[in-house]
Structure 1
Amino acid sequence: MKLSVVILNYNVRYFLHQCIVSVQRATKNIEAEIIVIDNASPDDSCKMVKECFPNITLIENKENVGFSKANNQAVKVAKGEYVCVLNPDTAVAEGTFEKCLGILESSGKIGAIGVYLLDGTGNFLPESKRNVPTPFISLLKILGLTKKYYASDLSEEATGSVSVLVGAFMFLKRSVYNQVGGFDEDYFMYGEDIDFSYKIEQAGYKNHYIGSTETLHYKGESTQKDAAYLDRFYGAMEIFYKKHFNSNQLLNTSVKIGVSLAKKLKGSSSEERKTPAAISQKAIVLTENLQLLKILSEKIKIPLTSSSKTIFQETELTNTLFIFDVDYMPYHQIFMVMKKFKNKNNQFRIRPPGCNFIIGSDKSDEKGSVLVF
């Protein structure tokens, strides 16, 4: 077995469905397995997997054991020479895994690989590539100064070494995963991917970022840094410093003061930061499926037309709802369109192959929306 793709799910049934379909398409030419591990989702995620994907491995936890422990569980039963840890609210472009394999197989010094992540609005997610969050850098981030936190020296579409990757997509040899002990189970939420990336580099490898292939990640890093987020972030960083840095009382006090100040600043400006979602004036469906077009025209209450792939030639499309049929347009082309028409009050929805729903997200700090038909 060449590759094991591990998807940790919690309560995102429709997004998980798309994720699995995209992985199946992206592993078409690779000997691969998919392992879904569910952290006691209250929705019908597990039922969906059993009915729609009976041949993939499903692990059902009876309680939510967190990110680290669940992924470690899944990797223990993985058979692949390589492992990809993947969030359920992602969609992988065709060819992504083959690019990762090509780079890893050409160098024995590369640890984990991450890729260009875009959110549901087509915008780049900066957590795709980060620096090691030293105490000073973390304090700056808590206060909203993120330039040093992210690996800004490497451009979004470049390829090169970065210190820290994001847990939404991490591709590496299973032997390296096991060598560093997997994800540290002291972390429940936040920080585990930072710790994992750091352990890989401490073991003598270099983490690598590929900006030439994309993965869609609907729920990006929250832009609304509320009090609960700040507490969780600080808690994770406190664990990280105790394990890898010389933590001291002065440092801890400084960061706690920073958290307290950040809470006040974020709280006072929270209403200003709330921006209404874009309101589309028309919808374009990229499909050749006339039945799908008919169904959507009955469900969507704005003017709706179909379009072909010649949409790439368009330059000015604003206030438009794009609906992509993956049976017509592959994920890598969909991502190209999203990037081209981002930040123009446009919205994007995807209908996974053969599915009776469309999904998308208009804000990177929300799970997104689903329309079932």
Structure 2
Amino acid sequence: MPYDTQLSIVIVNYNTKHFLEQCLYSIHAATQGLETDIYVVDNCSTDGSIAYLRPLFPEVTFIENEKNVGFAKANNQAFRICRGEYVLMLNPDTVVGEESLRSLCCFMDEHPEAGALGLKMLNGNGVFLAESKRSFPTPWVSFCKLFGLSKLFPHSPRFASYSLSYLSADEQHEVDILCGAFMLMRHEALNKIGFLDEAFFMYGEDIDLSYRFIQAGYKNYYIPERMLHYKGESTQKVSYSFLRRFYGAMLIFYRKYYIQSSVWMNLAVRTAILFQALTAPLVHIFKQQTNGKKMRRVLVVGRNASFNDVRKYLATSFRRCEYINLWNLDEERIASAVCRKNQMKRFTDIVFVYPDARFEQMFLLMDLMPNKQLVYHIYHRIPHFLISPGK
């Protein structure tokens, strides 16, 4: 079947205005030289996302829903009309590298057996996100995940199969499950296996889709190409409704593929939900109290001409700020910072200035210096706004 474009990009938005703006800026840079069609499906946002973004990105097709129809159904709306040989399902709270999409389309060209591929996702602390590569959630694999055995034995193929933590994150692998935050798919294969199962309102649909690619004889690949994923900035991960939907999606998957285990899994999932519902809010409160007390020591990574404006902006945005220093890109490359890890440890926040620094340069430093106590931000010089994890 002939396609009109090389790549279709589909993003579902719900109240993520500036995260989506940043995502679209990264897509604009990453699709230079590619024939693309881009769709944003808005699930009845109340933050003015579409009115704000439509004039900034006239090349994007915006689809506005009158109610929140869920992640799967919203994606399917765009899947039915997109025209690319390859289809990228992408979260709005992501940032992709300038060269990534072109190289990934080439990979798909060279690997006709590939149904889908995913990337090496980093969070706002530079920490690798384990859901970048996963195995099938069989009853045993899910048991190890739900009851913490995978964390106790992260290097064991027997106990840590859920996130495949025994496989290097810096090497290419053939895997079972990819993350729906970034899933590049062969359009022909997607049409063959069917779109997202709309029984999954939110969470779990990527597991189901990955599973169906494998069932149809395709391969799913994990590629160690860096990207940034803020991991659900529009959701409240400590709320009971989040936990119910997240683990409820697991039950839907089991009823669909492991009906003989669904009774056992129902009990296990309910136990996990109760435990998480009791402990997660306490952990969240503790983190908030800890973070609220520390003094910020900020390093701005940008050019000298940008520093004064950025410093003024941060002085009003950051509370309890001890000092704001500059890593001057007119004089030194970002990669040079890695050679000074001991000096870098004194900072609590690193603010990249875009477009002074390229997104791929940011990912490089974040990947080489992951730290749960260090927060990476991106300041956009034009227009002026700051993206921070959890904001």
Give the TM-score normalised by structure 2: 0.85
Name the residue aligned to 1:67: 71
Structure 2 stretches lacking a partner, 5+ long:
151-159, 316-320
Q: Is the 8 A contact 1:125 1:220 kept in 2?
A: no
Equivalent in the alignment of 2:24: 20
Cα distance in 1 between the residues matched to 2:314 and 2:369: 21
Letter in 1 for 2:265: V
Q: Quote the RMSD (CA, aligned, Å).
A: 2.2
* Counterpart residue type for residue 190 of structure 2: Y
Residue 173 in structure 1 maps to residue 186 in structure 2? yes
Q: How do residues 47-86 of structure 1 correspond to structure 2 at under 5 angstroms?
A: 47-86=51-90
Partner of 1:202: 215
Give the superposition deviation at 1:261: 3.0
Shift of 1:313: 3.4
Counterpart residue number, 1:365 = none
CA distance in 1, matches of 2:376, 2:277: 30
Asked whether the 8 Å contact 2:255–2:262 carries over to 1, the reply is: no
* Cα distance, 1:97–1:142 mapped onto 2, change above 3 Å: same
- Give the alignment partner of residue 229 of structure 2, picking from 202, 217, 231: 217
The corresponding residue for 1:299 is: 313
1:352 to 2:380 alignment: yes
Residues 21 and 353 in structure 1, CA contact (< 8 A), matched pair in contact too: no
- 1:174 shift after superposition: 1.2
Q: Using a 3 Å threshold, how does the CA distance of structure 1 residues 231 and 142 change in structure 2: closer, same or farther?
A: farther
Which amino acid in structure 2 is aligned with residue 214 of structure 1? R
Q: Which amino acid aligns with 2:314?
A: I
Q: 1:197: Cα distance to partner?
A: 0.2
CA 1:149/1:226 → structure 2, altered by over 3 Å: closer, same or farther?
farther
| Number of the residue aligned with 2:163 | 150
Provide the rounded CA distance (Å) in 2 between the counterparts of 1:255 and 1:173.
33
User: Which residue number corresponds to residue 248 of structure 2?
Assistant: 235
Q: Distance in 2 between matches of 1:224 and 1:144?
A: 18
Q: Percent identity?
A: 37
C-alpha deviation, 1:128, in angstroms: 0.5
Contact 1:119–1:220 (Cα < 8 Å) also in 2: no
Could you tell me which residue of structure 1 aligns to residue 301 of structure 2?
286
Can you list the C-alpha shifts for 1:302-329, whole angstroms capped at 9, x where unaligned? Answer: 3222212243432221233211112111
> 1:284 is paired with a residue of what secondary structure?
strand
CA gap of 1:130–1:254, structure 2 versus 1, over 3 A, is: same
Distance 2:25 2:181 in 1: 17
Query: Cα 1:269–1:57, aligned 2, differ >3 Å: closer, same or farther?
Result: closer
Distance in 1, Cα, partners of 2:92 & 2:273 = 30
Ranges in structure 1 where 5+ consecutive residues have no aligned partner: 362-367
1:334 to 362, 369, 374: 362
TM-score by length of 1: 0.89
* Per-residue deviation, 1:272: 4.8
Question: In the alignment, which of 37, 44, 54 is matched to residue 33 of structure 1?
Answer: 37
Structure 1 residue 73, shift from structure 2 partner: 0.7
Can you list the C-alpha shifts for 1:174-198, whole angstroms capped at 9, x where unaligned?
Answer: 1111111111111101110000000
